[in-house]
Structure 1
Amino acid sequence: MKIGQSFRLAIKSLLTSKVRALLTMLGIIIGVAAVIVIVSLGNGMQQYMNSQFEQIGVNMIQVSVYSYGGNREVTPDDFYGLAEKYPQYIESVSPYLSASAVVRQGAQEYERTSVYGVSETLYNPEKGQTASGDTLEEGRFLSYVDVERNQKVCVIGSYLNQAMFDGKGIGQSLTVGGVPYTVIGTLSEKADSTEGSGDDLIYLPYGLVEQLNAAGSGMGMGSSSYLVTSTSKETSSAAKGVIERMLNRIYGDSSVYMVMTSAEMMEMMDSMLSVLMTILVIIAAISLVVGGIGIMNIMLVSVTERTREIGIRKSLGAKGRDIRSQFIIEAGTTSAIGGVIGILFGILLANLFTAVAGVIVSDADGFAAIPNLSGILVSFGVSVGIGVLFGYLPADKAAKLNPIDALRYD
């Protein structure tokens, strides 16, 4: 029997019992759709995270020191000296302190506001943004004089600007840790301008945040955290090298500090996401195995129901391989149709997740669950392979039937 004829017989058999065929395909449909959705979400998350890193800057280097006290501690001057010594590698350096000090404006208290101590070098006037990706909306950023003299000035995020001053924060006053500060600049919205978001923050001269932490009014990382910007993405590795040499010279122990470039952070996140997606795909693939078992069971039932047909065909000269190929093609066709339905269902769900993410998470602009061609082709190929694999046993059973016994079957 030709393959085309076997395929037509397989379609005719499926159409004869539509409900049973659909239930047979269900495991394949669910498994393929789950794989498509998971792979699509993984691709979307990977591209979204990479785009976020691109916005922050692919040449940013984060430095954290975990050791406190001792005879020698790294200082901002050490980093400034390093930038002067290696201008070909390091573009700018800024301390990046944090404190959980109480922020107030009048009688209103803002408990979730992030307070950071930085220097004027955090902001790049040429790029019009900070090393952490913030841009100015009004006013100016901290200046050298502000930082050098520990002047009581601050730059606030869009949430505080709206919540405290109805968008007119320039020149207004607020208190951090009970100390009044004058707002000299406001930042553009980059998150969703809600409490606790990336827009709920204050930048102060880092010396003042050091004083807050020393006085015990906040719990922060002190002068142990720095943001360093390399001259380009290509020089970030060299910049990391000179930073690590300086820290090793000061501490003599690489376990007390960490230096990580944006490229390394991207690679680490991509690696973690890949492992997670692999685990989820394996879990989803269990549905495909369950679907394959369902196909095998139905094909065994089909062989039993069509025993007399098999006997008649064998008595008319059909060979075992013809019977075997017919049932294998029927099983493969069933799983292939289920795979196609699963792919369409998976793409539909992926687009639905993209739309829902855009509505529910306002700062998820740019996120899209992206089905890729390789994932679709692999899912389809696996679905067909599952059908052929699990359909072989019933097909082999049908091929080995004795034609006399088959004709006698009632």
Structure 2
Amino acid sequence: MLIENMKMAFSAIRINKMRSFLTMLGIIIGIGSVISIVSIGDTMRSMFADLYKEVGLTQAYISIGYWLEEVRQSDYFTLDDMERIRDVFGEEIAYMDCSSGVSANAQNGRTQVKFNYEGIDWNYQDVQPVNIVYGRYLNEADVKGRKKNVVMDTDSAMLLFGVENAVGKTFRTTIYGTTDEYTVAGVYRKEISPFQAMMMGTSEGGTALIPYTLLAWPNDYFYSIRVFAKDDVNLDVFFGQLKSYIGRLKGRNPEDYYMQTAVEEMGMMDSMMGGLSAAVGGIAAISLLVGGIGIMNIMLVSVTERTREIGIRKSLGARTRDILIQFLTESAILSACGGIIGILLGVGLVSAGGMALGVTAVIRPSVVVMAVGFSALVGVFFGIYPASKAAKKDPIDALRYE
């Protein structure tokens, strides 16, 4: 019986191709929009997760609380404080520096370029590896001796010197009011994903890594420290213990210090992206309601047009239930076909967009299955009234209908 009803439904759709397509259009647009929006949201969340993994999920920034009304000089961090922290948590810490950076003009002859200098320790390569193509990375002697050596990327070397291999070349720059000559110790090639490039935007300046001890000079006080925990460490426990120790070390309550972890930041970003995707997807799903109303309207027209057919079927022994199932099947197939086309449209658009941007589109199979099921459910729900109306027709009156 179901096979027969499906054949009749497909026959009715073929007879009225244009009307059937226009009826499905609302479902096509609705399903396509929902899948596209949810997939774009999932893709963005996946790219942000990958971005945080590259930056380092085990890192945290700790600073004196911005909400404190009175801040003492002793509340800030010193090189000695960092050594004490290393002595206590050496087994858990993979890397630590003073989280300092400064912008200044770099001068090479007549060429002047705005540079962003990031202060790092000699083992920063352990947590943020880069591909050194010329020269060497900063070493322990550079950091402890406060040597004015820098490591920059190839793009920055081209901006300042006109060549990638700038090892041994010097330039002048002013940091904290003091102008000195700096030497390029190494050049690395910066490999970033298209998403990272999009997030960072275009920059006309350069970037360089210098010993963090140069940015602590002359008073050796810093506002915050940056810590990378080792991969096998329980982050919640470790960061809690670290914050408590810093409070005791500085004669403050642990709550007086602000800690921002990469895991918390990623969680907030993921929640925001998920909520935004759900909200916009919900708005797009409203078009499914419009599509359902369109199906109901066309099915009512179909019932009226086929009144005589209904009368003939009933006179030949068709039961009320048979007529009901016939029209419900037609409504569900109409909606499901629209849903399948909408899925192909949504998946195609997201995949094409991902290929154009050079990213991997994330399309969850569960969303596709739910879309097909929901589209069929919409067809059944909005087909109940027309099918019920058809099933309740009196066979005598139906046979007399012209």
Match of 1:117 in 2: 119
SS class of match (2:374): helix
Match of 1:97 in 2: 100
Identity of aligned residues (%): 35
SS class of match (2:104): coil
Of residues 87-96 and 224-233 in structure 1, the stretch that sits farther from structure 2 once superposed is 224-233
Q: How many residues align?
A: 385
CA contact (8 A) 2:113 2:160 kept: no
CA–CA distance in structure 2, aligned partners of residues 190 and 302 of structure 1:
61
- Verify: 1:339 aligned to 2:339, yes or no: yes
- Verify: 1:395 aligned to 2:387, yes or no: yes
CA contact (8 A) 2:101 2:215 kept: yes
- Report matched runs for 1:16-31 at 5 Å: 16-31=15-30
Deviation (angstroms), 1:15: 0.2
Match of 2:167 among 161, 167, 170: 170
SS class of match (1:317): coil
SS class of match (1:29): helix
Deviation (angstroms), 1:66: 4.5
Match of 2:255 in 1: 254
- Verify: 1:376 aligned to 2:368, yes or no: yes
SS class of match (2:81): helix
Distance 1:179 1:307, change over 3 A: farther
Match of 1:219 in 2: none
SS class of match (1:102): strand
Question: Structure 2, unaligned stretches of length 5 or more?
Answer: none
Match of 1:61 in 2: 60
CA contact (8 A) 2:31 2:288 kept: yes
TM-score (norm 2): 0.86
- Verify: 1:82 aligned to 2:85, yes or no: yes
CA–CA distance in structure 2, aligned partners of residues 377 and 371 of structure 1:
11
Of residues 243-252 and 164-173 in structure 1, the stretch that sits farther from structure 2 once superposed is 243-252
- Report matched runs for 1:7-406 at 5 Å: 7-67=6-66, 69-72=71-74, 73-111=76-114, 113-124=115-126, 131-165=127-161, 166-177=163-174, 178-191=179-192, 196=202, 200-210=206-216, 223-249=222-248, 250=250, 251-252=252-253, 254=255, 256-260=257-261, 262-358=262-358, 367-406=359-398
Deviation (angstroms), 1:380: 0.6
Deviation (angstroms), 1:117: 1.9
Letter in 2 for 1:90: I
Deviation (angstroms), 1:63: 2.9
CA–CA distance in structure 1, aligned partners of residues 16 and 256 of structure 2:
67
CA–CA distance in structure 2, aligned partners of residues 369 and 198 of structure 1:
30
String of CA shifts for 1:342-368, please: whole Å, max 9, x gaps: 12222211220111112xxxxxxxx31
Letter in 2 for 1:187: Y
Question: Structure 1, unaligned stretches of length 5 or more?
Answer: 125-130, 215-221, 359-366
Of residues 47-56 and 94-103 in structure 1, the stretch that sits farther from structure 2 once superposed is 47-56
SS class of match (1:156): strand
Letter in 1 for 2:17: K
SS class of match (1:44): helix
CA–CA distance in structure 1, aligned partners of residues 201 and 368 of structure 2:
41
Q: RMSD between aligned alpha carbons?
A: 2.7
String of CA shifts for 1:179-200, please: whole Å, max 9, x gaps: 4311112122223799855994
CA–CA distance in structure 1, aligned partners of residues 201 and 279 of structure 2:
35
Distance 1:106 1:406, change over 3 A: farther
Of residues 6-15 and 368-377 in structure 1, the stretch that sits farther from structure 2 once superposed is 368-377
SS class of match (1:120): coil
Letter in 2 for 1:40: S
CA contact (8 A) 2:159 2:206 kept: no
CA–CA distance in structure 2, aligned partners of residues 196 and 108 of structure 1:
20
CA–CA distance in structure 2, aligned partners of residues 195 and 354 of structure 1:
19
TM-score (norm 1): 0.85
SS class of match (1:142): coil
Distance 1:289 1:255, change over 3 A: farther
SS class of match (1:347): helix
Distance 1:31 1:5, change over 3 A: same
CA contact (8 A) 2:244 2:254 kept: no
CA–CA distance in structure 2, aligned partners of residues 75 and 20 of structure 1:
76
Distance 1:196 1:313, change over 3 A: closer
Deviation (angstroms), 1:323: 1.4
CA contact (8 A) 2:62 2:257 kept: no
